[in-house]
Amino acid sequence: MISRWNYFSITIVMGVVLLMFQMTNVMLERWNHYEENSFVRNLEELPKESDMYALDEDSPDSSRGMVVYIGSRDASAFEVTRQWAVYTKQNFMGCETLEDYRESAGALAAYPERTVSVHSEDIDWGDEAAWSCLEAGAGKGGRLVFCGLPEAELIRKSAGLRGLFGISQVRAAETTVEGLRLEDGFLLGGGAEYWSIDEEENERRQDMELTFPWYVLAEDAQAYMRGILEDESLEAEELPAVIWRTPAKEPHTYVVNGDYMEGACGLGLLSAIWADGKDCEIYPVVNAQNLVAVNYPGLARENEAEIQGLYGQGLDRLFRDRVWPVFIAAYRQNALGLTCMLAPQYDYEDENLPEQEQLLYYMKRLNEESAEVGLSGGRISDTPLEQKLLEDRWFMEGTLPDYRFTSFYSTQGHTLEVELQDRLLESVRTVVSQYGGELDVFGYLNENVTRQALLADGVHYTYGQDFLAKCVETALGYTSVMVDMEWIAYPDSGDALNEMSSNLGWNLQNYFKGYENFEGTTVSESDERIRAFLALDYGKRIDGNTVYLELENPGSPAWFVLRGEGKRIRAVEGGQWTLLEDGAYLIEATEENVVITLQNSTRG
């Protein structure tokens, strides 16, 4: 039997616990200012397109490195090489022919740090006297990069070309491999094998180029990516090479066997090549990792018959009770920042209107997660975007009249000049859209608005997307992973929710763990860092084990990746550092002058 005193004590404790829970909920509600967007900024105070660092090809700066491109300006490799020079704040010179390159030899001598990128399709490889100048022009300690190779038969017949490219044998003019193996230590994020013994997984993920010439490398060459063959009798050195260098030469010569230098992948390969084999190299990055749920949350009870048939409940309950827990659990297990692109409706031609209660519920929950709420331009109906924005504006002004969107998801690329003038979008400063293979994964849409590409599909993640992610992380310290929730509301076939439950968390944990020491951001936070990165100009000097940085426009923190073989950081003045992985560090520069002191690693 419980005594009166014990009963009284238990009652008091229960009352205190109940009061604590109630007070917690009351305070959470009071402090949750979901009705306002904390990411709104005064555009006049942010860097603009006109503030971007620009190349001065007429009067290059002798204190910077020189990036040289040889080949047609119409080739994708030209834009890749030029854009990489802009991002790394170096000089750039374009030479359409080898003759132009030879004539520039005197001017190039003033730049001891040189990277020479050669578009192989534009070179007359039959004239050995013409291309023999390539190695000499790159200079000692420079980088000579071949974007693709001449025909395999030409290489087979020419000992000079085989020596230039570090090839000992042409085993076949064409072979098809099972997959690809990327070695550790070249790109950030570690090595990877782009194949699986599971046929179903291979079919789901494999989208890389698997047919190319079979080159066996010289003994002194070092491969960074090779093909994988079923023939287990082959030694690793015999496998078809895809990306490699010939380290015995000065300058180091790098070869990319295929079209990997085209598009944004080429930026990462150039950054990896630039730092490879050096005691130390440093370059600026954005430091932004985004997870973007587009077309979520949906606020109207749509497609009820199909959703009821699949899940036994309406779309509103499906999104709240089943999709939200799965999605938010996957988000909390990784280091990416979260943005949700609101879809008030999917179908603007039916009679289902968005519900205010649903909007308020999600705005509170997302604000508790420090997430950003943007607006989606997606819709399944033929409703013009102007009409969709008008109806969205009526709904938002009647529910949260003080909320101002700073980000917008576009389904029609970057042709939004008129739409961005809509009152609902007047505070938007960044537009995101799906990556379409373009070179510049971010930039400016106009003087005041940036654009960002969604590089990967978090649910339907492929090997090609993973290689792209490694390249962009290496060059820019940036990624943006998309989850499109319209696919659940209007599934093409099967149980889309189960597919998301099975794949999203696993993909984020396994493929993006290597970048967890970069910082998670919302797309508006990423926008601020992109603006600062594009406007940044700096000088650097590396003297033995000391790196000196001088930022010329330090309006906000700037981030750099420092890579070096056998080195570790002892101290940083004017900033701070984070270990990304073995031999790679993230440097945050918080002052105008930064001094990084290194020391030799004591590991064997």
CATH code of the domain in which 232 resides:
3.40.50.880
- Domain membership of residue 29 (yes or no) is no
**Per-residue pLDDT averaged across 40-46, rounded?**
90
Examine the domain organization and report whether 504 and 569 are in the same domain: no
Task: Tell me which H or E stretch contains 575.
Answer: strand 575-581
Least confident of 147-151, 230-234, 525-529, 590-594: 230-234
Q: What is the mean pLDDT of residues 544-569?
A: 89
525 and 565 both lie in a single domain: no
**507 with 464: CB under 8 angstroms?**
no
Longest dimension (CA), the chain: 105
Cβ-Cβ contacts under 8 Å for 389 (sequence gap 6 or more): 419, 422, 424, 425
pLDDT confidence bin for 534, thresholds 50/70/90: very high
User: Is the pLDDT score of 429 beyond 70?
Assistant: yes
Which tens digits make up the pLDDT trace of 286-298? 999 999 999 999 9
pLDDT of residue 17: 54
Residues 477, 588 within the same domain:
no
Does some domain include residue 10?
Answer: no
Please say if the pLDDT value at position 527 is more than 80: yes
Q: Do residues 373 and 465 both lie within one domain?
A: yes
- What integer is the mean pLDDT of 348-358? 94
For residues 38 and 529, what is the distance between their CA atoms, to the nearest angstrom? Answer: 16
Q: What percentage of residues in the chain have a pLDDT greater than 90?
A: 75
Nearest to 205 by CA among 455, 434, 469, 461: 461
**What confidence score (pLDDT) does residue 63 get?**
86
Instruction: Retrieve residue 28's tokens.
Output: 């959470």
Determine the Cα–Cα distance for residues 459 and 443; give it in Å rounded to an integer: 26
pTM over the 0.95 mark: no
Q: What are phi and psi of 313, to 5 degrees?
A: -160, 165
pLDDT for residue 14:
66
Domain count, the chain: 3
Domain CATH code at residue 567: 2.60.40
Check whether residue 183 and residue 212 sit in a common domain: yes
Q: Are residues 398 and 469 in the same domain?
A: yes
Q: Using the 8-state DSSP alphabet, how is residue 45 labeled?
A: G
Residue 294 is which amino acid? Answer: V
Most confident of 31-35, 48-52, 104-108: 48-52
Mean pLDDT (whole number) for 543-557: 86
| Strand partners for 290 | 337, 480
Residue of 96, 83, 26, 77 lying closest to 53 (CA atoms): 83
Answer yes or no: are the C-beta atoms of 471 and 208 closer than 8 Å.
no
Is residue 11 domain-resident?
no
Residue 498 lies inside a defined structural domain of this protein: yes
pLDDT at 414: 57
- Asked if the structure places residue 37 within a domain, the reply is no
Q: What is the mean pLDDT of the chain?
A: 90
Residue 381 has pLDDT above 80, yes or no: yes
Residue-level pLDDT at 25: 47
User: Is 415 domain-assigned?
Assistant: yes
What is the percent of the chain with per-residue pLDDT over 70, rounded to a whole number?
Answer: 92
Query: Both 108 and 235 in a single domain?
Result: yes
Q: Is the pLDDT of residue 32 over 70?
A: no
Where among 244, 263, 285 does a domain terminate?
285
pLDDT band at 139 (very low <50, low <70, confident <90, very high): low
- Which of helix, strand or coil describes residue 547? strand
Same domain, 135 and 213: yes
CA-closest candidate to residue 216, choices 200, 229, 203, 205:
229
**Residue 19 lies inside a defined structural domain of this protein:** no
Residue 22 has pLDDT above 80, yes or no: no
Q: What pLDDT was estimated at residue 28?
A: 44
Name the residue range of residue 593's domain. Answer: 537-600
Res. 361: pLDDT tops 90: yes
Mean pLDDT, range 210-228, rounded to an integer: 95
Residues 263 and 309 in one domain: no
CA angle (191 as vertex; 277, 589 as ends), nearest 5: 60
- pLDDT, tens digit, for every residue of 72-89? 999 999 999 999 999 999
Q: What is the mean pLDDT of residues 352-375?
A: 96
Contact 285, 477 (CB under 8 A): yes
Beta bridge partners of 52: none
Among 285, 307, 336, the domain boundary falls at: 285
Type of residue at 584: A
Whether residue 251 sits in one domain with residue 343: no
Domain of residue 386, CATH code? 3.20.20
CA 591 to chain centre: 26
For residues 189 and 160, state if they share a domain.
yes
Report whether pLDDT(4) > 70: no
Question: CA 561, CA 129: separation in Å to the nearest integer?
Answer: 39
**Distances from the Cα of 193 to the Cα of 183, 240, 256, 386, 538, angstroms:** 9, 14, 18, 46, 37
> Cβ contacts of residue 438 below 8 Å, gap of 6+?
263, 264, 453
Q: Residue 1 pLDDT more than 70?
A: no
Domain contains 445: yes
CA dihedral for 383, 315, 434, 499, sign (positive or negative) = negative
339, 291 Cβ separation under 8 angstroms: yes
Q: What pLDDT is recorded for position 604?
A: 44
Q: Is the pLDDT of residue 138 over 90?
A: no
Residue with tokens 């509170």: 364
> Rounded to an integer, what distance in angstroms lies between the CA atom of residue 229 and that of residue 226?
10
Burial of residue 353 (CB within 10 Å: 0-12, 13-18, 19+) is: middle
Q: Of 476, 496, 530, which residue constitutes the final position of a domain? A: 530
One domain for residues 321 and 457: yes
More confident call, 26 vs 399: 399
Cα dihedral value 140, 94, 129, 149, nearest 10: 90
Where does the pLDDT of residue 126 fall: very low under 50, low under 70, confident under 90, or very high at 90 and above?
confident
- What whole-number distance in Å separates Cα of residue 378 and Cα of residue 409? 7
Q: How far is the C-alpha of 182 from the C-alpha of 193, rounded, in Å?
A: 6
